Chain A
Amino acid sequence: MKQDILTLLALTSIGGAAFAGPLHFDFKDPKGVNNAVFKLDAPLEAINGSANGISGMVVFDPADPAATTGTLVVDAKTLMVPNSVMKEHLHGEMWLNTAKHGAITFEAKSLKNVKTSGDTTTANVTGLLTLKGVTKEITAPVKFSYLKDKLGQRVPKMKGDLLVIRSTFSIKRSDFGINPGAPQDKVTDEIELTLSVAGAAPAK
């Protein structure tokens, strides 16, 4: 009888693991840590800024990271730079026109070169980046860190998993109509973007 119960428990746990399936990670971070950083080279000093208005949903299966899909959204109005006048220009019509295009979105379509080691997966993600109303397909290197049962350490009294996503890639501002007339010796065409975000999948 005791052996039967143990067998049943073992089968249940194996079955549970096998059918755990993909987890839905919500990237609306209550701690406000999630951020997207941008960098443009310019004379004297590089223009650095960041945004922390991140949201979105990513479907990640720890057993099959290659099947990861999802969308991340950056609220363009949360973009900040060290100077108020520079911020006005950045949000203005010539640059990002945040009044009209308030969201910067990336929709992941597929993953290639997927390599998993422990809880860390690296891959090249291909998806659609929409910026200032222009959508382009881009491919970027991405690193996933799956932190099982770590949600409680961040949000007390909650159980669940965390997924950390890191990615650094470059785009051309002329591709997205971001002040294409600005001379490139004053501000480079290339924008370096770094995404550092963590999503939570509360246990059901």
Chain B
Amino acid sequence: MKIVAWRSSSRRSSSLVKTVNRRFVARTLLIVAFLEAVLVTAYWTAAGANTGWTKNRVEVILLDEVTGLDGRTWENRFVPGVELLAASLLSGVVLITLAITIRKPKTTY
């Protein structure tokens, strides 16, 4: 009798641990998704909010005063594009979906 009561208590305790773990993982995923979206958006904005594709060099124009021509040279500089922003936001959505799925308790009938 005593053994049965102990087993039942152990099962309840294990289930409680699992629920706590699920909540912890889900919360962590939500925080990661939020941080990722905020940081990548801030980086994209700070880098010039480029609405085109990602660039790894930028054209620099210098006026030649004698001829009036625009001299063009290229400077190596990384400028994130919209595809990088979209990928980060999409991965954020995936993490949030995963967090909701993990947190949701299983219903048994």
List B contacts of A150 (CB < 8 A): 66-67
A198 CB-CB contact with B under 8 Å: yes
Rounded to whole angstroms, the CA-CA distance of A37 and B72 in the bound complex is 9
A123 CB-CB contact with B under 8 Å: no
6 smallest CB-CB distances across A and B, nearest first, come from A45-B52, A33-B71, A82-B55, A198-B67, A33-B64, A153-B66
Q: Number of residues in B with C-beta < 8 Å to the partner?
A: 22
Establish whether residues B67 and A52, one from each chain, have CB atoms under 8 Å apart when the complex forms.
no
Interface size class of A (residues with CB under 8 A): 20 to 34
Establish whether residues A82 and B56, one from each chain, have CB atoms under 8 Å apart when the complex forms.
yes
Ordered by A's residue number, 18 sampled pairs between the chains whose C-beta atoms are within 8 Å are A32-B71, A33-B71, A35-B71, A45-B52, A50-B72, A52-B72, A80-B57, A82-B56, A82-B57, A82-B58, A82-B79, A83-B53, A83-B55, A83-B57, A145-B67, A147-B66, A153-B66, A198-B67
Establish whether residues A44 and B53, one from each chain, have CB atoms under 8 Å apart when the complex forms.
yes
Rounded to whole angstroms, the CA-CA distance of A31 and B57 in the bound complex is 21
> Binary interface profile of A, 122-148, with partner B (CB < 8 Å = 1, else 0)?
000000000000000000000001010
